[in-house]
Amino acid sequence: MITQFHYGTPVETFAVVEQVPLCDHEQLRHFTRKKGSPQSFSCQLGEDDIIYGLGETMRGINKRGARYISFNYDDPHHKDDMPSMYGAHNFFVVDGETAFGAFFDTPAKVVFDMDSRGDGVLSVSCESQDLRLYVVEGENAYDVVRQFLHVIGQSFLPPLWAFGYGQSRWGYKTERDVSRVIAKHEEKGIPLDYVCLDIDYMDRYIDFTINKRRFPDLAGYTAGLKEKGIHLVPIVDAGIKIEPGNRVYDEGVRSGFFCKNHEGTDFQAEVWPGMTHFPDFLREEVRTWFGEQYRIYTDCGLEGFWNDMNEPAIFSTEYRAKGTKPDVERGDPDQPERHIADFKDFFHRLDDGREKSNYEVHNLFGAMMTRASGEGLDRLLDKRYLLFSRSSYIGAHRYGGIWTGDNASTWEMLRQNVYHMPSLNMCGFLYTGADTGGFGGNSNRELLLRWLAVSVFTPLMRNHSAIFTKNQECYRFRQPEDFRTLVSLRYRLLPYLYSEFMKAALRRNMYIKPLAFDYPEDGKAREIEDQLMVGESVMIAPILEQGAKGRIVYLPEPMTEVRYGSDGFTCINVGAGERTVMAPLNQVVFYIRQGKLVPVGKPAANTAELDLLDVELLGTGSVYEQYVDDGSTKRCGLEHCVIRRREA
């Protein structure tokens, strides 16, 4: 059961798309509300209660014991005590003797204190007086999440090729660079579906431009790559360079589509191309205009994009010079170390006529950029496309996926990748993943192989690194055949992974879950955070410690242990309980639930070679419902499910 409560005059975030009953404030259960500024809500926790959710936040899957701040910002120095990241996902679930969830639907800053003092009190402080609160009650935590996923709408559905392996690096500057990367993957037999282009493909880092010296014939080059089953995925940033004569800039100024400053003129902020204006994405007409700009890419045959710098990230502004000490509100321990004044210096005009500073609606900016892009691409293309973003808010999951931002090449970030996946799924974001190998810093052979063993199971599987770091393409390391083995597993599992993703999205379910969601009565499963359920059949237990040759795995029930290496699949049936499992760097071990099946396909160089129907079945079950379509149609539905039966 879901109920809705209004306070003040809420800003329309478009996060919830289904009808939810509106209740009087006196009917609010689970929370005690304290009026004021900020207004706060609190509840008493049971001693053994677990708190799930909050999407893209640091620490483990259980969020109890820390403070989190919902305020999107760009900080690549991810630490365990970091309060905010790139996304605002204000939904959480309390799981104990009773289970309930809450979604604080406001684009302004929210502070979640999940019993950081250890006194059993959960408190939520909302800076804005204008918000919607949705309370969800269910039989257990998983039931609460499924109800919430139903009301926020169906996940974005990418094409099949978006589930392939992607290679990316800030530093691929020319057509020759990209061709060299593709040729090396072919030479070493490492499967590849797409290559991402960072800001260097643009003319002076200007959105919706192409550097003709570096990519003299992008349309022809794109067409040639498609014949080989390879796609290009360019980056698009949030700021439009101030440059009279540039068509996009001129149109935006002439139509009044940019955010305003205190004086009522177009706000100026420095990002990669220099001083820019920010489109006012909270207005429908601006979103329509911005989405149309992707035509320059779709006319070149491009069908995949990643949006960046849309928290928005700011280097300097017309009011604050570059290098100026951050204007942090002194005395407020909840304020992230960002240039807070920047967000108070520019303004949006909402469709209802109200004017709000970006600070008041800050968490919506990136989400509405994603919406603008997704709606534009829906109009421009007659097929599914790839779109993922850095900044987000619940609701953006209907228009695109996300990656978890500028992480680092550390074992802690690998562990965080595991923790993020189920938490993001709870908030609607099914198509997600981390920068495999880490974006900042220098990855090494061991870390990249262990990270690949995790990314095999996440919908977005992209190796991405920063300029001035050590190159971390798989073919650059000793014994590249080991990397080929792990990436090839991704393709052999795609008949299952694609099927489970599509079924989860169409049924508004989770794709990756904590163990406790499938084993709610198992006390041990409730404590485990480094093992995950992937779809209906698979459990993974990745190795996340440097130098480890194996690990202890807990099996809540008898399962089939599957080991994949250079010789293919090896399966044994094992009993429930704890077991020590060894896994060399060139092998991946995963588990199939009792009575379940996993369809696996033949090896492929990319998804264009993959036949989803040509599969063998692993596991002890007798029937599997497989989703199979052409990988690009927009007419997706459960009618594409077929039944696979194990031969007697």
Residue 647 burial (CB < 10 Å; 0-12/13-18/19+)? exposed
Neighbours of 37 (CB within 10 A): 10
Q: Backbone phi, then psi, for 551, in 5-degree steps?
A: -165, 170
| Burial class of 572 by CB neighbour count within 10 A (0 to 12, 13 to 18, 19+) | exposed
DSSP-derived pairing of the beta strands 32-34 and 39-44: antiparallel
Which helix (H) or strand (E) segment holds residue 234: the answer is: strand 231-237
Which are the catalytic amino acids? 308, 311, 406
Residue 143 parent element (H or E): helix 141-152
Beta bridge partners of 258: 279
Residues 6 or more apart whose Cβ sits within 8 Å of residue 378: none
| Distance from chain centroid for Cα 539 | 21
How far is the C-alpha of 280 from the C-alpha of 365, rounded, in Å? 8
Give the Cα separation of 420 and 406 in Å (integer).
14
| Cα-based angle 17, 394, 154 (whole degrees, multiple of 5) | 50
Angle among Cα 422, 423, 429 to the nearest 5 degrees reads 85
CB 437 within 8 A of CB 455: no
Alpha carbons 421 and 51: distance in angstroms, whole number: 15
The closest alpha carbon to 248, from 290, 282, 212, 215, belongs to 290
Here the tokens at position 341 are 């004044």
SS3 string of 240-292?
Answer: EECCCCCHHHHHHHHHCCECECCCCCECCEEECCEEEECECCCCHHHHHHHHH
